[in-house]
């Protein structure tokens, strides 16, 4: 049965994407003269699209705590591409993502339509422009999710949080919320640390096929109860990492 799972699940995901994307464009056109209502419509569609994709890929999401307000800045540890679907199913927010995703077929245009900000992390000269975009997005009342570890990993710990993208929050004195992610696979399936977490030099295609063969993925999000504030971005990063690390459940 394993070989049947990827095509069946991809078919379900494509059908869900076509449905929710068509609804998004219908509402977008109908609300073209009401930007605030259009933004609420976008957030509603995004959550339900992510939930539909989680269902298509047999991802069960356990939520501990309460998601932050819709206009909040949220940080989380980063374990792989599945993080976006899992978090997107629960929060009203756009994402800061690696720049190459903008060039991916289908996924890139969808990400742009849902206010994703794209960052080339290796080019430090781009950080001021990215921080300006982050400040502008938050100023419009649009929530953002940032993965301050800078890269995904196998989920053995929470890596150091890079402070660069926290500068707008530190300078404006904004509250920054945090979430902690972890994954498990079904008994008898390969471990989540290699088949759900995407890290190292693992190519996307083979990893995605292996993930889709899993019987089930149990995702756990814990939203921390209190946000952090600090005028120094480095201290803010240290505090947020410590808060996430305290609640972190290592990926087996």
pLDDT in tens, 79-108: 999 999 999 999 999 999 887 777 776 677
Q: pLDDT tens-digit profile of 190-200? A: 999 999 999 99
Segment 20-56, tens digit of pLDDT: 999 999 998 898 888 889 888 989 999 999 999 999 9
Distance between CA atoms of residues 195 and 210, nearest Å: 6
Spell out the residues 6+ positions from residue 154 whose beta carbon is closer than 8 angstroms to its own: 79, 193, 194, 197, 199, 200, 251
Mean pLDDT value across residues 177-206: 96
Q: Are 176 and 76 in contact (CB under 8 A)?
A: no
* pTM to 2 decimal places: 0.93
Q: Can you spell out the DSSP letters for the chain?
A: -GGGHHHHHHHHHHHHHHHHHHHHHHHHHHTTT-HHHHHHHHHHHHHHHHHHHHHHTTEEEEEES-PPPTT-EEEE----THHHHHHHTT---EEEEEGGGGGSTTHHHHHHHTT-EEE-TT-GGGHHHHHHHHHHHHHTT--EEE-TTSS---SSS-PPPP-GGGHHHHHHT--EEEEEEEEEE-TTSPPHHHHTS--TT--HHHHHHHHHHSS-EEEEEEE-SS-B--SSHHHHHHHHHHHHHHH-----
Residue of 246, 237, 86 lying closest to 162 (CA atoms): 237
């Amino acid at each position: 049965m394993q070989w049947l799972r990827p095509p069946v699940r991809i078919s379900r995901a494509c059908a869900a994407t076509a449905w929710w994307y068509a609804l998004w464009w219908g509402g977008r056109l109908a609300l073209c003269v009401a930007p605030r209502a259009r933004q609420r419509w976008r957030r509603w569609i995004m959550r339900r699209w992510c939930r539909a994709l989680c269902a298509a890929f047999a991802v069960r999401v356990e939520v501990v705590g309460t998601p932050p307000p819709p206009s909040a800045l949220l940080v989380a540890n980063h374990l792989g591409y599945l993080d976006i679907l899992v978090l997107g199913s629960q929060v009203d927010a756009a994402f800061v993502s690696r720049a190459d995703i903008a060039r991916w077929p289908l996924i890139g245009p969808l990400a742009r339509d849902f206010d994703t900000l794209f960052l080339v992390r290796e080019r430090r000269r781009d950080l001021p422009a990215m921080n300006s975009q982050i400040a502008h997005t938050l100023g419009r009342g649009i929530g953002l999710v940032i993965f301050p570890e800078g890269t995904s990993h196998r989920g053995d710990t929470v890596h150091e949080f890079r402070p660069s993208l926290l500068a707008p929050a530190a300078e404006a004195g904004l509250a920054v919320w945090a979430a902690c992610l972890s994954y498990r696979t079904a008994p008898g399936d390969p471990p989540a640390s290699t088949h759900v977490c995407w890290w190292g030099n693992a190519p996307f295609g083979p990893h995605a096929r292996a993930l889709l063969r899993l019987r089930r993925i149990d995702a756990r999000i814990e939203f921390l109860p209190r946000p952090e504030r600090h005028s120094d971005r480095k201290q803010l990063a240290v505090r947020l990492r410590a808060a996430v690390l305290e609640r972190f459940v290592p990926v087996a």
